[in-house]
Structure formats: structure tokens, C-alpha cells
Amino acid sequence: MAKKDLLSIYDLSAEEIKGILNKAFELKSERKHLDVFKGKILGLIFEKPSTRTMVSFTAAMLQLGGTSVFLNTENLQRKRGESIHDTAIVLSRYLNGLMIRSFKHSDLEEFAKYSTVSVINGLTDHEHPCQILADIMTVMELHKTKTVEALKKIKIVYAGDSNNIANSLLAISAVLGLDFTLISPKEYSPKKEILNKALEYTSSTGAEIKITSDVNEAKNADVIYTDVWTSMGFEAEEKERKKIFAPYQVNSELLKKASSKCIVLHCLPAIRGEEITKEIMDKYENSIFPQAENR
């Protein structure tokens, strides 16, 4: 089987995304150990702290008959200066695949360039594709839509920082032709090149993409999604970000603008009282925690 990397949502066609979602629903419904990865080993490289990414990949490999090896970069020779080139080549000879959770997207791309086994993005500063695939699966489950085509009738709104989650939501909306609104302070809007890439798809897929700083654009939302205001690596900006993002908090007032069937999503970890209130977090735990499970 040819090597296939997943560094970005854009590495997948609409048909491939549909296939992944169909397979995910199938495997979830079976709820038993399978042997599709029997004898396969997935390396898990972590530069950043992790709960869901680490546990979900580890559990999935075991449930599918394979195994995984946790590789903390603090304990690898990369810490002492070994090149990505050499590390990727060596690990390719031991493993059947690599999942990498990295600060720099360019490091992930370099790993993929020299690795002879498939590389999966477990989060970078640029994208978080596996999270967003699980999110779309969750939207389909909770809105009881059986096809990706039916998703086009669902209005998805993201409120907060235009971070890796927002970038991947933009990408999957563009590829699948979804109705997606990103609400963020103007100074934290998506980078021009990221937005332009998404907009390139709209003419062929029919995606409706809107970028705004007006929280009233959450009107009639069927999904409201948020993430922390200060992502890993931006801790020095935390105090200023709290002030700027305060109007974009997911709270009861924002939910009043949404449709009566609206669900709330959060990729977690959440800081209750900042990007989302404790009240809303508790009220919508029946969508947020299934979202985490679908990872």
C-alpha cells in the first residue's frame, strides 16, 4: 500500500473524508477488538503535553489489534541535536507509521519528507486535522445526518482565536462545501494565505465561508464551537488576550442567538469562565464529551 500522509485536511479529497467518516462510524458501532492493525506499530512523537491525542491514538491501536510506542522528544536523541532527517529514516525502519504532535508545522513536513512510513498530524501550530474529522463525525451523530451532503444544511459557527482548530475547520468546510462562519477579533482573523486557500474551493464545492468580528453572526447557528483563547506557545500574550476575546465568550447570551437545536463543541482542554462559561460547559457536556470520545 502506498504511503499516505495526513498533515493537513487538504491532503484529503471530499471522497476520502467521507470514506474515513463511514469507517469511523462502522468501527464505533462494533465496539470490539479487531485485528486490522495486527502486527503494526505506530510511533507517537510528542513535543507538547497531551491527554486526548495520546490516549485516543494509544487506545485505538490496541482496539484495532496493533500497538503503539510513546516517544517523548525530551527522551529522544533529537534533544541532543540529531536531525529530523536521520530520526525519520531510523524510525521508519522500526515502525509502520508515525503520529507527531509538534509545535512547528514545518518540522512535521520535514518528518514526512524523509519518512518512508505514513505520518499523521496529531497537532501543529498550523492544523489539527484528526480533531476536526472527529468534530464532523460528532456533528453528524448529534444532528442525526447520515451523509456529508446533509451537513451542508447545518450552520457551523466558531467563536474565538483563529488558531489551528479554526484553520482546519476552514479547510474541511471548504473541501466538503459546508456553511461555516468564523467569528474573531479582526486582529486575530485567519492569515491571508490560509483564508485564500479555503476560498479557492468555494466555487467548486459551494462552501459558504464568512469571516467576521460580529458575534451577531452566530444567529441561527446549529453548531457553536470554541477553543482556548491562549494556545500553547502564546502564554506571554495571555493577559492581553483575555481582554480582547472577552466579547467572544460562549455563554448563555451567545446561545440565545443560535437555533433551538444548536449543539456546543469544544476540543478541550477548556478553561471554564474564559472562552466558555461553566454553565454552558455543563449544559452541553452531552456534545462536548462525545466529541472527545470520537477522537
Distance from C-alpha of 74 to C-alpha of 84, rounded to nearest angstrom: 14
227 part of the active site: yes
Three-class SS of residue 214?
coil
C-alpha cell at 217: 453572526
131 part of the active site: yes
63 part of the active site: no
Active-site residue among 5, 52, 101, 105? 101
Active-site residue among 227, 249, 266, 291? 227
Identify the DSSP state of 64: T
Where do we find the cell 498530524?
Answer: 121
Active-site residue among 52, 126, 266, 295? 295
Active-site residue among 161, 249, 267, 291? 267
130 part of the active site: no
Active-site residue among 105, 128, 241, 266? 128
Distance from C-alpha of 51 to C-alpha of 158, rounded to nearest angstrom: 23
3-state secondary structure 173-212: HHHHCCEEEEECCHHHCCCHHHHHHHHHHHHHHCCEEEEE
Where do we find the cell 485505538?
Answer: 60
Long-range contacts of 78-86 (CB under 8 A, 24+ apart): 84/110, 84/111, 84/114, 85/110, 85/114
Active-site residue among 131, 135, 249, 266? 131
- C-beta of residue 40 within 8 angstroms of C-beta of residue 97: yes
Q: Which of 141, 138, 209, 221 is nearest to 176 (CA)?
A: 209
33 part of the active site: no
Question: Hey, which residues are catalytic here?
Answer: 101, 128, 131, 227, 267, 295
